[in-house]
Structure 1
């Protein structure tokens, strides 16, 4: 029987009153999913097999966990290893593991599993992007189901920190080979669906082992929106609830005054550098590299590339990292001196080079600004747009087929990459290598920081890359969404504490 108008109004009024009478907790339960926006879609979902940070930004702490973890303040905390002891000589670590932990496929996590994961990461056939982290591990033993003993060939002061990275997460032997498309981890979420080119959907695990850290969200969706204008439209319309790394700095100020949005400028490890191929001339001559560095006005570049957001750097080190040394004055902006140095190196009329610039906005804009700066000292820069990650990884990272490139290095405390013999910079300096070894084997924190300072100074002097700026974390999200990380001590979108307040 149809409801008459007056009766219909009474029903509607009763419904409104009933909703108003619901407790806040009941209302909050009505919104238990969130849509997170990212500019780049990961090519796979196994952070132990490939380097691009987008993999960890989806999976780390959501699907996968490690023996240790890095918290939002950048500190190392226990995770699957609830405690550990270290021998006096720094060579033996005994980890006590959490009991009753299972992977999302039901398999149990034990010391044997942890041994498998570490041996896989350090093995001869390993494709782990941070394989060198495990190079000092001599043996791994499962003493009993909840006890793991790791013996080192030399003290490794950063071991607990490195074990917290996405590349060191624990993987289950039966699913390790297919984690790239069907990830299986011990984390609070599991993969629900991956619509490639569009979205990745996660669902909360009801059997998650850590009762103290069960997420409030029942699920989450990562959507991939590369175009900055589209990002702004999506966050304004509510189609996307959060862009933890908003990609349009020139539009960011327009969002800061909107009452329904939270905007937070935080710190990151994203060091934007223009790497040069030191394997070939003219980049094998430090005078040329120094001249190119002196051609760059970092402050003007930051204004043009990132709307003034960002902090200049003079070496491969972020200002928020322990032991940071401000070296931006080592080869400060001085185009007259740059031209003189080029002439001393045998290039009085300059030279021409190409820069392979990934398609991200910051990279293409930086390349354009560098092009103008280099022109002032007689150097012609041709910009070659390069698809990222696949083509860039193949041409630049793997085959070293480039003159110059530009990319944001996201890993924390990754200054040691310049000591890797096959890294794309082609940089070799025994003094630098010795400083890195001293830093990474130091058990005294003060000694480690001192040696990292020495390494920073060597890079600032030799300039194997043009050190430009650290990108900020331009976070923007629905004002009712809480728990997202304001700063980014490691690339991540940890959803553990994310919840709605209305």
Structure 2
């Protein structure tokens, strides 16, 4: 489905929210209900279907939330309170003096999932780690091109040219050899994308000629094991009873896929869902008045932005990009879309980052100056363009369609005729990856505290090639700055490079940073043990409900 709107609709008034939710409750009553057996355990109402069951192949937060922390473990984890790295599948690690060789000692007796389609004969070994990362790095690996051969996060951080070799030096000892020092290397091993796969399962699939099942019938070491997936309906997991850490509390975990926000809220109110992703900010006050529902809030590492496709004219012209940015009334957006639950962004980095440049001049709202810049760029009467708006809520943008309509009206004041375009979420992402857009409202949630987690995936030349750089912006000067930052472990020196990179971005304007949003989730009051992670993703293994 494609939606194109003319000059924007009026925002829904807060006084209508209660009536809307009441109507939504009636709508939900008409929807197919999950069978009682599937509702046993914990039910998480998700906003969309996963694109894959392998986090290496995606960057979508919807997919990552559904699979990464549930099915898989990584070599390292991130402490949600301090942001520091801590052991996970790797019990310890050491680094050579030149920063180019890393040794990881693995936990012993880590069991892989036992399912109807795979019966593991051994525990985790170094062979599994080698298999996992060679798949990403080596085109000759039998699984490299399964799923298209794209590993967007790893390609955006130039993983294949960074890591020269991964090898097993013993059953539980892994060696990574790098071509150059990289101060973000350990942080990248702790991301949700760095899930460890089973080499033994890979061998089974090779023998049966079913390599494609690796990413649709998953095997990991995480707290839950895969049981069932019905597209656009549900995902069902069972507890992994041989889990090497504390066992998951729910025996079953169901992701009930409900794209419509009002229906998700209605299911929460009728207790068909225990946890709901991304409640609309406009509805938080109403939700918080219910005694049977709790709203959780946390500061999160994220950025919502408007990216210009610099591979297309006129967005290849820096004056045009500056004019478009200057035409947007972000104060109005902060109130009408975020309802004050966000911080106006002056950089892609949140102010909580140690590399944030607080000296940046704020982007001003100045339609008169914007019109002047457009005339200087050769567009005195403006031009026509598209604003692509996500059809789903995300942490960094709770209502992209509404935001696009506000921007549409702003742009009309400088003669730019904007159409708002949206598609079903998976189609939206596919078409976005094919660079069909003029501009897009989207964003990013970091899953570690390293500043590089914002810069390279969003704006590097390698990310432009893989599709995570939605501005299609490849600038050698910018790439040089962020590369130099990675070559030193000295934080003060790294910060100086990142400060300069942020200043350069504010001048070149490949994207307009809009907001750093608070993260919210709604849970029924009888659910305990579900906490918001400031570094993205969601872990549900510790959730308990009622007398469970």
CA distance in 1, matches of 2:435, 2:380: 27
Equivalent runs, 1:143-162 vs 2, <5 Å: 143-162=169-188
Q: Which moved more, 1:378-387 or 1:266-275?
A: 266-275
1:394 matched to 2:430? The reply is yes
CA distance in 1, matches of 2:430, 2:359: 32
Show CA shifts across 1:265-324 (max 9, x none).
222334221111111221111111111111112121122223332221122223333322
Which residue of structure 2 lines up, in the alignment, with residue 27 of structure 1? Answer: none
1:374 matched to 2:374? The reply is no
Which residue of structure 2 lines up, in the alignment, with residue 140 of structure 1? Answer: 166
Task: Select 2:70's aligned residue among 62, 65, 79.
Answer: 62
Alignment size in residue pairs: 466
Task: Select 1:364's aligned residue among 380, 397, 401.
Answer: 401
Which residue of structure 2 lines up, in the alignment, with residue 117 of structure 1? Answer: 132
- Structure 2 segments unaligned to the other structure (5+ residues): 1-38, 115-119, 203-210, 394-398, 448-452
Compare CA radii of gyration and give the structure with the larger one. Answer: 1
- Structure 1 segments unaligned to the other structure (5+ residues): 1-30
1:403 matched to 2:438? The reply is yes
Question: Against the structure 1 CA distance between its residues 396 and 197, is the aligned structure 2 distance closer, same or farther, given a 3 Å change threshold?
Answer: closer
What is the Cα-based RMSD across aligned positions, in Å?
2.0
Equivalent runs, 1:262-411 vs 2, <5 Å: 262-326=294-358, 329-360=361-392, 362-389=399-426, 391-397=427-433, 399-411=434-446
Question: Against the structure 1 CA distance between its residues 368 and 327, is the aligned structure 2 distance closer, same or farther, given a 3 Å change threshold?
Answer: farther
1:103 matched to 2:112? The reply is yes
Which residue of structure 2 lines up, in the alignment, with residue 84 of structure 1? Answer: 93
Equivalent runs, 1:175-190 vs 2, <5 Å: 175-176=201-202, 177=211, 178-190=213-225
Helix, strand or coil at the partner of 1:414 = helix
Give TM-score scaled by structure 2 length: 0.81
Which residue of structure 1 lines up, in the alignment, with residue 534 of structure 2? Answer: 488
1:164 matched to 2:190? The reply is yes
Q: Contact between 1:292 and 1:338, CA under 8 Å: does it hold in 2?
A: yes
Which residue of structure 1 lines up, in the alignment, with residue 30 of structure 2? Answer: none
Question: Against the structure 1 CA distance between its residues 312 and 327, is the aligned structure 2 distance closer, same or farther, given a 3 Å change threshold?
Answer: farther
Helix, strand or coil at the partner of 1:434 = helix
Segments ≥4 residues shifted beyond 6 Å = none
Q: Give the deviation of 1:328 after TM superposition.
A: 7.2
Q: Contact between 2:532 and 2:538, CA under 8 Å: does it hold in 1?
A: no
1:454 matched to 2:500? The reply is yes
Which residue of structure 2 lines up, in the alignment, with residue 236 of structure 1? Answer: 269
Helix, strand or coil at the partner of 2:152 = coil
Q: Give the deviation of 1:475 after TM superposition.
A: 1.4
Q: Give the deviation of 1:46 after TM superposition.
A: 1.0
Q: Contact between 1:367 and 1:406, CA under 8 Å: does it hold in 2?
A: yes
Helix, strand or coil at the partner of 1:495 = coil
Q: Give the deviation of 1:483 after TM superposition.
A: 2.0
Show CA shifts across 1:244-263 (max 9, x none).
422x2211111112222211
Show CA shifts across 1:363-421 (max 9, x none).
211211110111122211011222322x2333222x22221111122344221131124
Q: Give the deviation of 1:32 after TM superposition.
A: 7.7
Which residue of structure 1 lines up, in the alignment, with residue 48 of structure 2? Answer: 40
Helix, strand or coil at the partner of 2:328 = coil
Question: Against the structure 1 CA distance between its residues 175 and 310, is the aligned structure 2 distance closer, same or farther, given a 3 Å change threshold?
Answer: farther
Give TM-score scaled by structure 1 length: 0.88
Question: Against the structure 1 CA distance between its residues 322 and 225, is the aligned structure 2 distance closer, same or farther, given a 3 Å change threshold?
Answer: farther
Question: Against the structure 1 CA distance between its residues 364 and 209, is the aligned structure 2 distance closer, same or farther, given a 3 Å change threshold?
Answer: same
Question: Against the structure 1 CA distance between its residues 455 and 36, is the aligned structure 2 distance closer, same or farther, given a 3 Å change threshold?
Answer: same
CA distance in 2, matches of 1:378, 1:230: 39
Question: Against the structure 1 CA distance between its residues 328 and 179, is the aligned structure 2 distance closer, same or farther, given a 3 Å change threshold?
Answer: farther
Q: Contact between 1:232 and 1:251, CA under 8 Å: does it hold in 2?
A: no
Q: Give the deviation of 1:204 after TM superposition.
A: 0.8
CA distance in 2, matches of 1:388, 1:325: 34
Q: Contact between 1:267 and 1:320, CA under 8 Å: does it hold in 2?
A: no
Q: Contact between 2:48 and 2:232, CA under 8 Å: does it hold in 1?
A: no
Helix, strand or coil at the partner of 2:215 = coil
